[in-house]
Structure 1
């Protein structure tokens, strides 16, 4: 079994960067639709100043309690709040990430003559690329998920216009530094773990049902494990990013609990550690781990499926032209 993630000289058909971009967009869209409720829970936990334990006094203190709370107060649609910008975010990030990873791994392969692919380095750079193009969607998504009633923003475009008008254009990249500090190592770890685990799992189950989508089991298992491992490693940076993204938006969140205003990232770090304790840096970790494992598994298997479809299509076209 050979993975279609990135450039691989062992593949019978190596896809173009455009093919990888399309596969990244499709996989991002599918994954987002499935895991959005877990993302909403994760963000609510991260933005809550009070402890997330049952006796902590906060509005949310568990996955099932929080889901029921959101459904009761905001309806089932509340679990998909911010879904449109999240979809745009996933699609743009998927395109930027997988397109750049394919380009970078091919460049490394050409330079080293196939001796190495450097999945961690190429993955880190791909994460930076994906983050830069998708950051405005991430900021809008966070604001839409975080807002209560009455709503300050009616949608993605309204959020972008109001943020630019009241806070300046650069606010669309608010929290960029902690985001890059998180996304680069996280993506590097995901691609590194995925590459290694896919090879190991492929050797173990390679002869099982080999004629029917041989990438399926290996991709699901290695993708899920890679997503979970990487998420644990960088999770505190995700909490910091979410707190930074609601700067200037605190008044709209009073109904969710205590409001704290952070002047900058450093003071935010000090305040969270001093007032909420070290455990605060892992608020929302459980739904985030569920989401990270599920989304990583789905995104890699759907990505591999789309790429496999392209490869079979091109092989069929080449076979027909030979005849």
Structure 2
């Protein structure tokens, strides 16, 4: 719906008072200015919630979104690792419905959430650190002399969001990586249960592969997660700012959900091949199996393209899209909602 506001000329009377004249109605500039100031103050209050509140909001947002999309996340992982040990004929027969039916018939419906406990154990600290680090990296970047004078520039803000998001993603991934590796291995188990739980998986990996085995695939992870989070945050912040500028009265929840979903699609499309390589590196040597890839990161890319074709780099992208649209949307929506609630609670104390 289009809204047209016709503003007349400001006239200053003898008493120093200002009035607003309009042919089709009157609109108070002071009132508009006051509303803008209130909106800015509200956003500022939300961004200035305490450390504990930020960590809680980020952790709960990440855990909730991952739990809601756990079935699709497991399907994505199973598709991503198919090319490691399966032959070409088996891979051609695979599809989402067939794999989902196999999980239900062979493992039961609850198997869709296999590894979800460790997912939550990973996502609570990961998302907490991710959102918290992002907010603080933004503040640090904004005080850089060259950027401080250009805070209103859209290109500068986009650059800040991109860099802050990338640094936040690298920080969060490095801090919680062993749990991410355990989550992948538990989710990739089908009929043979080599790991019985989080503690058993950690002990077994350290025993069979050494402590450094807990960080297998970290290089590919950092190469992927930095750009992924950078794209996600920068696209989200840019879309949200533009949306709120054009339609300032729309629901914050709706805006966060829509912009979060679009940012998830953008980041997943750009970095999915790296995520696929990361998953395969994480599963190297599971259960005493022989290594599949004996080269570095670029050698693995060449091997996948040679044996599975270029499309092999995007194996599992469809369930990833199905997962990321609601998943990232729910994550940003929950984070923004909790920030507002916690900000209101803090202001009321």
Q: Same fold (TM over 0.5)?
A: yes
| Partners of 1:19 and 1:102 in 2: CA distance | 12
| Structure 1 segments of 4+ aligned residues over 3 angstroms from their partners | 110-117, 264-267
2:90 aligned counterpart, secondary structure: coil
The answer to whether residue 318 in structure 2 is matched with residue 286 in structure 1 is yes
Taking the aligned partners of 1:49 and 1:198, their CA distance within structure 2 comes to 38
RMSD: 2.5
Aligned pair partner of 1:269 in 297, 301, 322: 301
Is the CA contact (8 Å cut-off) linking 1:101 and 1:123 kept in structure 2? yes
Question: In 2, Cα distance between the equivalents of 1:284 and 1:174?
Answer: 21
Distance of 1:27 and 1:165 partners within structure 2: 34
After TM superposition, the structure 1 stretch with the greater mean CA deviation from structure 2, 183-192 or 88-97, is 88-97
SS of 2:143's partner is helix
What is the CA deviation profile of residues 92-132 of structure 1, one whole-angstrom value per residue up to 9, with x for unaligned ones?
Answer: 21011011111111222334447435100000000001101
- Aligned equivalents of 1:114 and 1:95: distance in 2? 30
For the 8 Å contact 2:84–2:292, the answer to whether it is kept is: no
Inter-partner Cα distance in structure 2 for 1:67 and 1:96: 33
Equivalence for 2:192 = 150
Matched, 1:309 2:341: yes
1:270 & 1:156 partners in 2: Cα distance?
A: 33
Could you tell me whether the CA contact under 8 Å between 1:194 and 1:222 is conserved in 2? yes
Work out the CA distance in 2 between the residues paired with 1:141 and 1:46: 14
Alignment partner for residue 182 of structure 1, among 211, 221, 224? 224
Query: What displacement does 1:194 show?
Result: 0.4
**SS at the partner of 1:49?**
helix
* Post-superposition offset of 1:292: 1.5
TM-score for both structures, normalised by structure 2:
0.80
Q: Is the 8 A contact 2:284 2:291 kept in 1?
A: no
Q: Which moved more, 1:137-146 or 1:263-272?
A: 263-272
C-alpha change, 1:164 and 1:250, in structure 2 (3 Å) is closer
What do residues 59-109 of structure 1 show as CA deviations (whole Å, max 9, x unaligned)? 962222211111111101111111111111211210110111111112223
Which structure has more relative contact order (CA 8 Å, sep 6+)? It is 1
| Distance of 2:187 and 2:245 partners within structure 1 | 42
SS of residue in 2 equivalent to 1:304: helix
Q: Which runs of 5+ in 1 are unaligned?
A: 3-7, 209-213, 253-258, 318-323
| Shift in CA distance, 162/260, structure 1 to aligned 2, threshold 3 Å | closer
Cα deviation, residue 309, structure 1: 0.5
> Aligned in 2, Cα 1:309/1:273: closer, same or farther, shift over 3 Å?
same
On the 8 A contact 2:63/2:124 being kept in 1, the answer is yes
Secondary structure of the corresponding residue to residue 192 of structure 2:
coil
Q: Is the 8 A contact 2:257 2:333 kept in 1?
A: yes
Kindly state the Cα deviation for residue 269 of structure 1 after the two structures are TM-superposed.
Answer: 2.2
Contact 2:107/2:190, CA 8 A, preserved across alignment: no
Match of 1:243 in 2: 280
Q: CA deviation at 1:285?
A: 0.2
Q: Distance in 2 between matches of 1:70 and 1:284?
A: 16
Summarize the Cα distance change of 1:192–1:9 in structure 2 as closer, same or farther, 3 Å threshold: farther
- Asked whether the equivalents of residues 276 and 313 of structure 2 are also in contact (C-alpha less than 8 Å), the reply is yes
Q: Which residue of 1 aligns with 2:233?
A: 191
Q: Deviations over 1:138-184 (max 9, x none)?
A: 11011111123331110011001110111011111110111000000
